[in-house]
A and B are shown apart, each in its own frame.
Chain A
């Protein structure tokens, strides 16, 4: 099963295409990394996959053919948006309550145990938590929904190194222990080195490269994800200049 399938997918804002002619199959059971410079169309692709926006062209389905944004799709996908939006004036306990009421499944013991481990007090307002704690709360709420696909948009961009490490450790634990498929975007390549097993390279609204990390590294003769992506991006820019 593919967790995301895109066919000729495009999104236009006014006259500018943020994403165009995107055709992709992201297999289940992976940690898929969506990389590319700022403005490459990463958030656009993720918003389309979780059903927040509607395609201008093409189609996108999730979790084996469910229309993005349909009730069945929403049920199986948990999304942590950029800057981890939370209701700042609600307490941690209220955020748990609200998320539990808004979803079919919610693993309350898991959520409480994790927040205990993290030392996040349930009565504290979400807005009073540190950046790292807010990100962890948003991730905990998402994982407690027991999703089959976890989508993260630039999850660690605003975090300090320790918080980054803790956050990614949680994501990896969910992926390996619970078999959650993960799709995350980042422009920080080093962060993805350890975690990603599938790579999608976006540049100027187009998919440049997609495939298993090991296969891509072998095929392009690069030692690391970072080198591969950099080499590819440089090549693309050069070829555009010479053309």
Chain B
């Protein structure tokens, strides 16, 4: 190191001016953010208890129904019906009250922890204190953001394990035989599992840090972070996620797909003589023309598909099989982590160059 050394006391130059060790920021970060982190712990703890309380009977019902023999006996049918009823009206489902609340968690945690990290310093003027200490401002900011990010990731990953445990009866193997309710693992809080929950939380946290640095006010920064997060989450769930891997396509004139019930159906369409005929369900005019002779009580779970198949229509289905759950988790986790790293890098760059 070649710091200017003229007229400097010997203990203050040269080798002694190596940067202060990073570990010094651990206690500093803890003291400044312990109340926020305690709030996160209480929130996640309460939700974990709720998940456990509602998940335990679900697991018991599923196990009881799956173990029942013979499956066709009235007693077993009752057990299966009991599980199906509680599983379909699930409070933690995507649209249940618990599920809706859980889906807000990455945004709330990320925004309320991430946005104030820099915005509060800039709003109250304490950055003039923090950025003139010997530790150095960009190292101070980087250490804080990384430490908080790691703590949040660990807590949310642990919570994600619990979410996956909760939904395990929904897609466990061996349900086909007793006819238990099944659903795609993509369909239940996909963004709150052990990989995606920390990834989404980090993305919200990093967004909050950057927005806070840009807006310099805590409350507007939190609001803006929530808005940005909502946009990203809706775009991902609505458009992006289904394209992570090319969907499989099957020619099938029934709803029977490989791994019935647990696959994520992306789209369905029909062809005739090798040409595209219609997307989704058949138009009413076509059904009236070709299948009006099918009596209403004969229209089973397959709809008019068998009738249309007789007239040369082939139904196609593109879908993501349930076996792609983990690849999808890692793809989503990967790009969110890359995005978070990029946002944090941009924040640090701003801290370095920001003029007070």
Contacts and interface: CB of A to CB of B under 8 A. Distances in A.
Interface of A: 1, 47, 50-54, 63-66, 70-72, 74-79, 81-83, 85-90, 94, 97-99, 101-104, 138, 145, 148
Contacts of A102: 20, 24, 28, 130, 133-135, 140
B269 interface: no
A53 B35 CA distance: 31
A199 B104 CA distance: 58
B296 interface: no
A87 B116 CA distance: 13
Contacts of B132: 50-52, 74, 77-79, 81
A76 B355 contact: no
Nearest to A53: B355
A103 B32 contact: no
Which of B17, B32, B134 gathers the greatest number of chain A CB atoms within 10 Å? B134
30 contacts: A1-B7, A51-B132, A52-B128, A52-B131, A64-B8, A66-B4, A71-B17, A72-B4, A72-B17, A75-B17, A75-B134, A78-B132, A79-B129, A81-B129, A82-B128, A83-B125, A85-B125, A85-B126, A85-B129, A87-B32, A89-B35, A90-B31, A94-B31, A97-B27, A97-B31, A101-B24, A101-B25, A101-B27, A102-B130, A102-B134
Contacts of A1: 6-7
Contacts of B31: 90, 94, 97-98
A69 to B, nearest CB: 8
Interface string B111-149: 000000000000011111111111110001000000000
A171 B140 CA distance: 28
Contacts of B130: 102
Interface of B: 3-4, 6-8, 12-13, 16-17, 19-20, 24-25, 27-28, 31-32, 35, 124-136, 140, 353, 355-356
Contacts, number: 101
Which of A51, A94, A98 gathers the greatest number of chain B CB atoms within 10 Å? A98
A76 B32 contact: no
Given A97-B31, A102-B134, A66 B125 contact: no
Nearest to B130: A102
A113 B3 CA distance: 34
Contacts of B133: 74, 99, 102-103
A54 B131 CA distance: 13
B125 A104 contact: no
Contacts of B126: 85-87
Q: Which 10 A-B pairs have the closest CB atoms?
A: A81-B128, A52-B356, A102-B133, A103-B134, A85-B125, A53-B355, A79-B132, A65-B4, A72-B3, A1-B7
A90 B35 CA distance: 11
A85 B6 contact: no
A94 B24 CA distance: 14
Contacts of B35: 89
Contacts of B355: 52-54
Contacts of A89: 35
A94 B20 CA distance: 19
Contacts of B28: 97-98, 101-102
A88 B124 contact: yes
A126 B28 CA distance: 16
Contacts of B128: 52, 79, 81-82, 85
A65 B353 contact: no
A81 B32 CA distance: 20
A50 B130 CA distance: 12
Which of B35, B127, B133 gathers the greatest number of chain A CB atoms within 10 Å? B133
B27 A86 contact: no
Nearest to A77: B132
B131 to A, nearest CB: 6
A76 B128 CA distance: 16
Contact of A104 (B16, B25, B124): B16
Given A81-B128, A103-B134, A64 B7 contact: yes
A101 B31 CA distance: 12
A145 B4 contact: no
Contacts of A98: 27-28, 31-32
Contacts of B27: 97-98, 101
A72 B125 contact: no
A74 B134 contact: yes
Given A1-B7, A74-B133, A75-B17, A53 B25 contact: no
B134 A64 contact: no
Contacts of B32: 87, 90, 98
Nearest to A54: B355
A148 B12 CA distance: 10
A72 B18 CA distance: 9
Nearest to B134: A103
Given A77-B132, A99-B133, A54 B353 contact: yes
